[in-house]
Chain A
């Protein structure tokens, strides 16, 4: 019997491998065209053969995602602090926040392109827009969910409002902030790709569209796989920072 730890590592690979084998068998057995559905080996060899191109196009998408996400954190967290602590700000801003969230980001992408052009700025803006909401909502929720007992303790010790925020509310909200950040970072990649789809001169989304229009199935799929890897890598990076910043939360939560 394998230990549970080993199972956690091995089973996902077994599942993945099974799907790849079925996929490979299906495309070969039925002679599916590479344009329609390239086989896993086709995609693998395309990834290897075109690695310089793929790598080159990864940087803009990576940068757009990271900067858009960073912007969402830098603007979203302070805004959430305001919304959580001020009734006025909450009443004034929350409906607008909900309203902006309900606008489909794909629908405003063309408008943002008109404002910011074909370059990186427009992708960054869209990545920011999609990542912003979960960060604000989760941070505000976390700040409001400070355990009453801790607030009472701080009151009994005559802590200043700033001390209450910095030493009680904010640390208590960190796990919430990180769960928002984990959602936001994967959304930021999607936002960057949406931007590249609507109009761009580079990036993995751009490459995917180009390869698709040239009926280069293996390259389009390779770009798709690289995009997923990019999303997973960014997610893992946020999880790593989370583990570093809130070691007390333990691994049981994830």
Chain B
């Protein structure tokens, strides 16, 4: 069965691109292929001219579930990638503390995941995805399981983190407003077999603040995305 057909677009360094589409359209599969976690049945993914044929050391990934290890403290969870890479030194710890401070979790280094709320757990997962300074951050509906208010907080947080880390981000979501709010570019997937239904260059200025959600430009972009998804006319 073909889940995804003929998807092709360019991602510029430092951009935040969102893959927006209905549930089950294959956007997660696409993200996993880009990340080297799944194989495509045909076609190629090239990053800086190099074929992606397996997990890449300079990618960072955040999943829908935070996937924290309950037996590790917050700090140990963030340092997990460095441990696997054999680079768990004082500099790594320092960077982990910086990242935790950046997402507002200073003082929670020694807590266990079970002691944190869902939003806090996702913030820890974000730090873990960023600890090895990835060039490309892949995010698979990381805020999908959060309540609306926490979700909006996390969106602002991600935008801040992006400014301080300079990472290129590919973000999967099925929320139209999340896609428009976060992105430089929104790639809209159709239902299976997925093709690109539309591509939005958002063009709203950064830094973005929640007020922008109520602007005419924002609403117009949401409306266009809704049309591409076949929700609105």
Complex Cα–Cα for A168 and B54 (A): 20
Q: Is the CB of A156 within 8 A of B59?
A: yes
Interface footprint category on B:
20 to 34
In the complex formed, the residue of A with least CB distance to B66 is A149
Residue numbers in A under 8 Å from B57 (CB-CB): 158
Query: B71–A174 contact, CB under 8 A?
Result: yes
The stretch of B80-88, B152-160, B165-173, B202-210 that contacts the partner chain: B80-88
Q: Give the Cβ gap from A153 to chain B, nearest Cβ, in Å.
A: 5
Q: Is A155 in contact with chain B by the CB < 8 A criterion? A: yes
Name the contact of A149 in the complex, choosing from B67, B83, B85 (C-beta under 8 A): B67
A154 surroundings in chain B (CB, below 8 A):
84
A152-B32 Cα distance, complex, nearest whole Å: 11
CA distance A180 to B67 in the complex (A): 25
- Interface status of B199 (Cβ within 8 A of chain A): no
As a 0/1 sequence over residues 25 to 54 of chain B, the CB contacts with chain A under 8 angstroms (1 = contact) are 000000000011100000000000000001
A172 to B71, CA, bound (A): 8
Cα distance A157–B62 when bound, in Å? 12
CB-based contact B81/A157 at 8 Å: yes
Given A167-B83, A167-B84, the answer on whether A157 and B69 have CB atoms closer than 8 Å is no
The minimal Cβ–Cβ distance linking B10 to chain A, given in whole angstroms, is 23
A248 within 8 A of B: yes
Q: Given A154-B84, A155-B37, are A250 and B114 neighbors across the interface (CB < 8 Å)?
A: yes
Please tell me if the beta carbons of A156 and B37 are within 8 angstroms of each other in the complex. yes
Closest CB in chain B relative to A163 CB, distance in Å: 6
Alpha-carbon gap, A153 to B69, bound state (A): 11
A149 to B125, CA, bound (A): 12
The answer for the CA separation of A156 and B47 in the assembled complex, in Å, is 16
The answer on a CB contact under 8 Å between A248 and B84 is no
Most-contacted residue by chain A among B59, B71, B114 (CB, 10 A): B71
Query: Which one of A156, A167, A247, A248 has the greatest number of beta carbons of chain B within 10 Å?
Result: A156
Taken together as a complex, chains A and B put the C-alpha atoms of A149 and B83 apart, in Å, by 18
Question: At the interface, is chain A mostly helix, strand, loop or mixed?
Answer: helix
B interface footprint on A149-181 (CB within 8 Å = 1, 0 otherwise): 110111111110001000110011010000000
Other-chain residue from B71, B84, B113 in contact with A246 (beta carbon distance below 8 A): B71
Nearest-Cβ distance from residue A168 to partner chain B, whole angstroms: 7
B82 closest partner in A (C-beta): A157
Q: A153-B61, A156-B55, A158-B84 are in contact. Are A171 and B71 (CB under 8 A)?
A: yes
Q: List the A residue with the shortest CB-CB distance to B132.
A: A157
Residues of chain A within 8 A of B67, CB atoms compared? 147, 149-150, 152-153
B112 at the interface (CB under 8 A from A): yes
Q: How far is the CA of A167 from the CA of B36 in the complex (A)?
A: 22
Give the Cβ gap from B50 to chain A, nearest Cβ, in Å: 16
Report the minimal beta-carbon distance from B80 to chain A, rounded to whole angstroms. 8
Residues of A within 8 A of B35 (CB): 156
**Chain A residues in 8 Å Cβ range of B63:** 149, 152-153
Q: Which residues of A contact B80 (CB under 8 A)?
A: 153, 157, 167
Nearest chain A CB to B33's CB is how many angstroms away?
13
> Are A248 and B37 within 8 A (Cβ)?
no
Q: Does B65 contact A (CB under 8 A)?
A: yes
- Determine the chain B residues whose CB is within 8 A of the CB of A174 once the complex forms: 71
Chain A residues with CB under 8 Å of B65's CB are: 149
Are A150 and B69 interface neighbours, CB within 8 A? yes
- Contact check, B55 vs A248: say whether CB atoms are below 8 A apart: no
Chain B contacts to A: CB under 8 angstroms:
35-37, 54-55, 57, 59, 61, 63, 65, 67, 69-71, 80-81, 83-85, 112-114
Q: List 22 A-B contacts (CB under 8 A).
A: A147-B67, A152-B37, A152-B63, A153-B61, A153-B80, A154-B84, A155-B55, A156-B59, A157-B55, A157-B80, A158-B54, A158-B57, A159-B84, A167-B83, A171-B69, A171-B71, A172-B69, A174-B71, A248-B70, A248-B112, A248-B114, A250-B114
